[in-house]
Structure 1
Amino acid sequence: MYTQCNHCNAIFRVTMKELTAAQGLLRCGECDNIFDAMKNLSQTLPEERRFAQKLVKMAPVEIQEPTTIEHTTPKSKRLPQDLKHKLSNARYFISIIVGILALLLLLQVLYSNRHWLAQQPITSPIIRQLCTLVDCDITPYRDIRKIRLLSRNVYSHPNTPKVLTISASIQNEATFPQPYPLIEISFLDKNNKVLALRRFPPEEYLQNSKGKLMSTGIPDELLLNITDPGDEAIRFQFRFM
């Protein structure tokens, strides 16, 4: 025999023994609704139609736990195999698209932060290799604290009056090549007041300085010219920037 849930129309196969034990009240395995199985009881399985309701008047009963019976899914509720296949393919392609978008987002983040990542010991090799493959520029890592002033001297320019020539030797003591610094030279009086100041970018004290890096452990000899600040200047100092 068959009966049907009056809430979700799910169809169930039942026996008279089960109905008698449950006093006609069953719990739907689909929607968890408690219904009177006797009202829609039939000897045959419906073919895409609803059961004709049979009015069976029964006295109300108090039950503790209605019997949950095995659910027989009608053909009309089953998804066709080709539809299941299409849904599976759709989920597969959506997963691929999401993965591609996540990869593009990661690459964008890496590209935007490539200069900072290239200066970190852990990520530097990977970022530099990636930039070599895609031909992107990276600002070289620099540490001004590792540039040392080995010697310095100042004297009057031999051919130009009121111009001083400063000779200096600087060296990169870092473990990596780095860009040449901006050199600031200032002249001070006896009260440490700055009388003259000039900053020299690499292109002013190097030949073919574009893209050139300071080698490690090799001194660089420099000659810098600056206007003579006068007799009040008693000392000068270097600063790397």
Structure 2
Amino acid sequence: MYTQCSHCRAVFRVTMKELTAAQGLLRCGECDTIFDAMKALSTTLPDERLGSGNGRDLLGEARIHNLPLGSLAEGSSSTNPHKTGKHISSNKRTSKSRKFLYLSLFALCLLLLIQLFYSYRTKLLEYPSTRELTQTVCSWLACELDNVRHLDQIKLLSHTVYTHPNTPNVLIINTSIQNNATNPQPYPLLEVSFLNQRSEVVALRRFTPEEYLSKEQQGELMPAKTPKELSLNIEDPGKDAVRFQLRFL
């Protein structure tokens, strides 16, 4: 039996089995048009049905095609178990690929966040609002926190100022400080400034840990929750100085 595309007039040789499987709808192999093969179905070639020389000329320009398996219309795919199985398998592979892609992106984002956290952990520890969370996360990631400074956790417990008994024009400042952080940290830089009655700085001196620690203590960290007694010698700024300030840097 024969049928003809309603769009490009291409002729196809078909069987009833193929038409039944396709529910009468075929896809043209020439122009890709889906057409109703039952409307043009015939047991004779188109020129024989037309019964004229014109018909023979038309057939001479056309070609008779055997119906390929891929020419069944999309709507009839459910009648082809092999094709349906391939379609389901393809969908499963696509779904697995998407899941793998999403998991890969999530892992990369997580790795980036961890790297950023590790790089800025010192800065985060300087702020009370993020310090506790940072310390908790660092305990999970085994971050090194021993050398992180928490200047706001160093407290001045007491201080006294008096003239050096043996050296003229030299003052002695005895002070007690304590590290209230949960971890040891480096000793701070000490800044001593003397002010006049108008709160203007008349003298200023900064002491490094190497200057105010003993040789045995140098290189050590300031222990947590332990008062430390320090002694500083500084040149007497004169009578204009009425009070002094001590800052940790």
User: Which TM class, normalised by the smaller chain length?
Assistant: 0.5 to 0.7
Alignment map for 1:57-76 (pairs within 5 Å): 70-71=76-77, 72-73=79-80
Pair 1:233-2:241 in alignment: yes
Instruction: Indicate conservation of the 8 Å contact 1:170/1:219, yes or no.
Output: yes
Match of 2:108 in 1: 101
Alignment map for 1:161-180 (pairs within 5 Å): 161-173=168-180, 177-180=184-187
Assess, with a 3 A threshold, how the Cα gap between structure 1 residues 225 and 40 changes in structure 2: closer, same or farther.
farther
Q: Distance in 2 between matches of 1:146 and 1:50?
A: 83
Q: CA deviation at 1:222?
A: 0.9
Q: CA deviation at 1:196?
A: 0.6
**CA offset digits 1:212-234 (Å, max 9, x no partner):** 12421x32111111122123323
Q: Distance in 1 between matches of 2:4 and 2:208?
A: 90
Q: Distance in 1 between matches of 2:41 and 2:171?
A: 114
Q: CA deviation at 1:96?
A: 6.5
Paired-residue identity, %: 39
Q: Distance in 2 between matches of 1:95 and 1:34?
A: 38
Assess, with a 3 A threshold, how the Cα gap between structure 1 residues 6 and 49 changes in structure 2: closer, same or farther.
farther
Match of 1:210 in 2: 219
Assess, with a 3 A threshold, how the Cα gap between structure 1 residues 122 and 12 changes in structure 2: closer, same or farther.
farther
Match of 1:115 in 2: 122
- Structure 1: runs of 5+ lacking an equivalent: 20-25, 52-67
Assess, with a 3 A threshold, how the Cα gap between structure 1 residues 12 and 131 changes in structure 2: closer, same or farther.
farther
Instruction: Indicate conservation of the 8 Å contact 1:14/1:69, yes or no.
Output: no
Match of 1:23 in 2: none
Instruction: Indicate conservation of the 8 Å contact 1:167/1:221, yes or no.
Output: yes
Q: Partner of 1:204: helix, strand, or coil?
A: helix
Assess, with a 3 A threshold, how the Cα gap between structure 1 residues 6 and 219 changes in structure 2: closer, same or farther.
farther
- Structure 2: runs of 5+ lacking an equivalent: 8-16, 28-32, 44-65
Q: Partner of 1:111: helix, strand, or coil?
A: helix
Instruction: Indicate conservation of the 8 Å contact 2:147/2:186, yes or no.
Output: no
Q: CA deviation at 1:94?
A: 5.3
TM-score by length of 2: 0.56
TM-score by length of 1: 0.58
Q: Distance in 1 between matches of 2:232 and 2:168?
A: 15
Match of 2:35 in 1: 35
Q: Partner of 1:191: helix, strand, or coil?
A: coil
